[in-house]
Chain A
């Protein structure tokens, strides 16, 4: 039986296209292949198809009966999007207000378990002098173990860098894994830290075998601060995002620039992790690989417009890996895993709402992602987030999931603000914030973290600055509270 003609593909529009989008696409397509303007004899036939597609899709009745003839794989959304709001309606009033939106994205796969997509991953390893010893030994040992776990279809490349970068394992198919292990063994520390050089090489390696049917990712492992080449790295991250290559980093110890590595993650949908003990490199690197492998849809990003009178103030990914996100379109969200949901919390600021106003548009746009196991991996779906208005405030308390997420995110943001105050030299303000943070941590049973916070409060009073280690312990400690598993963790 021949496949039915797909009118959506003919117009180049997604299945959930609005009437407006159907019209626009038709007009553009018709202009392109109009028999009067084109000399190509095939266009006449194509033009008729476009006409037919428009006839069917612009008529709601015809469109819905036509939709029934299409295969499931085309009509069933591969990803489910659910939204939760801190309040069900927005009150019409003359003062600004906040509304929180919890977005949950999950694989619409039912009980089907798909084979994990092939990996195309580059490990970019800092081999500056300071990595010598346990850190480098653990990195090497873990890298070798990971190479042994790879399937034949996976591609790994390894770049090491100090003040220059070397490709020690080039990306490629049919890699000789024993040779790869030997090359890792040969890795010897020495030199400075120039992250850009490493990233640039890693980028080149991943780029060569980049395909929408694989997970394309760069993992940077570093313990140092890079000087002067941060802007270049950010440009590179933008290029990576454009080519749908993720960048994640593992920062070891207190010296690396977490703000910078967070930005690289936010730009590409990756993550940044803090490693306080060298031995944790093994746990976190393996976890990262597991996370990359367990991928249903990759490189999800939201391209959107913000509704009039509203602002997106803060965006944070709660799951699977906690990460700050961009607040401007497009927001790179990372991968949608098979097992756990991708959860994002948005804080939206609503300007005063006049008494006549009806529904408020918060976000209008499209969610794009690739599904590696599909013949045609690229997919997009419409996202429209709106709220009705009301004269009275919503009497219901916010849903527990939002309250819980915000209780932890508030602590993370208190830490952020303490850092901002220190940066501005407001030691008194910063101290006060840290003390409040410690009080909250104690109340949650996080005694160790509370102690670190109070230690840093004393530190900033003396030295007007955080200790490098303490600063990161607090940041990643409060961030870790957002993970579902941290509920059981009570101080020692």
Chain B
């Protein structure tokens, strides 16, 4: 029996992919999303909410950028309407549009395909894609597969990785 690390579905040994969620099961040891112990909700929420929007919105073409809170690095979101966020992993065909692997995504429990951000006119939404450790918006867990509206300065937490949303007005 194999338990799918993503959706907990039980598969017969020898299965290569989870029939429920399509996750690769073979040769996963060491590459699965780390299960981080769940922290009580909103423990840090107040602190998080106080985070001020990054000082300057860098001079980029993009209307929307992401700021990795820990390191201050800014990732512009341009050229497209929709972006997937996650972490690349060796031997995996999955490549998110925004690869968070360089920002210690693995240690922070980011799934290979964790969430997506969508631009629709002035509307910006985030959707959790059924990630293992979930996504929080300003400390509140958002339900999987449901788009949630984003505003300038919002903190999106993927697993434990905090990302601030920057929208140029």
Contact = CB atoms under 8 A, between A and B. Distances in A.
A439 B93 contact: no
A437 interface: yes
Contacts of A397: 26-27
A422 interface: no
A410 interface: yes
B123 to A, nearest CB: 17
B22 interface: yes
B16 A398 contact: yes
B84 to A, nearest CB: 6
Nearest to A451: B82
A440 interface: yes
A442 B85 CA distance: 11
Contacts of A398: 16, 26
Given A435-B145, A442-B113, A443-B94, A87 B14 contact: yes
A98 interface: yes
Interface residues of A, number: 36
B66 to A, nearest CB: 18
Contacts of A406: 16-17
A447 B95 contact: no
Interface residues of B, number: 30
B19 A417 contact: yes
B19 A410 contact: yes
B129 A439 contact: yes
B22 A437 contact: yes
Contact of B113 (A93, A407, A413, A439): A439
A93 B12 CA distance: 12
Interface in B85-106: 86, 93-96
Nearest to A437: B22
A351 to B, nearest CB: 11
Contact of A442 (B14, B18, B26, B116): B116
A309 interface: no
Nearest to B144: A435
A402 interface: yes
Contacts of A97: 12-14
A429 B140 CA distance: 26
Contact of B16 (A86, A91, A414): A86
A407 B13 contact: no
Nearest to B80: A447
Interface in A420-444: 433, 435-437, 439-440, 442-444
Contacts of A44: none
Contacts of A204: none
B7 interface: yes
Interface in B122-149: 129-130, 144-145
A363 B54 CA distance: 64
A105 interface: no
Contacts of A447: 82
Contacts of A13: none
Contacts of A350: 14
A100 B17 CA distance: 12
A388 interface: no
B15 interface: yes
A95 B27 CA distance: 20
B20 interface: yes
Contacts of A403: 16, 24, 26
Interface string A439-473: 11011110100000000000000000000000000
Contacts of A91: 13
A433 B20 contact: yes
A442 B16 contact: no
B15 A98 contact: yes
Contacts of B26: 86, 397-398, 403
B21 interface: yes
A19 to B, nearest CB: 34
A439 B82 contact: no
B19 A402 contact: no
B56 interface: no
Given A397-B27, A417-B19, A439-B113, A349 B130 contact: no
A443 B16 contact: no
Nearest to A442: B84
Contacts of B47: none
A413 B19 contact: yes
11 contacts: A397-B26, A406-B16, A410-B18, A414-B20, A414-B22, A433-B20, A435-B144, A436-B130, A440-B21, A442-B82, A443-B84
Interface of B: 1, 7, 12-22, 24, 26-27, 82, 84, 86, 93-96, 112-113, 116, 129-130, 144-145
- The 5 A-B pairs with the shortest beta carbon distances in the complex, nearest first, are A98-B14, A397-B27, A410-B17, A97-B14, A440-B22
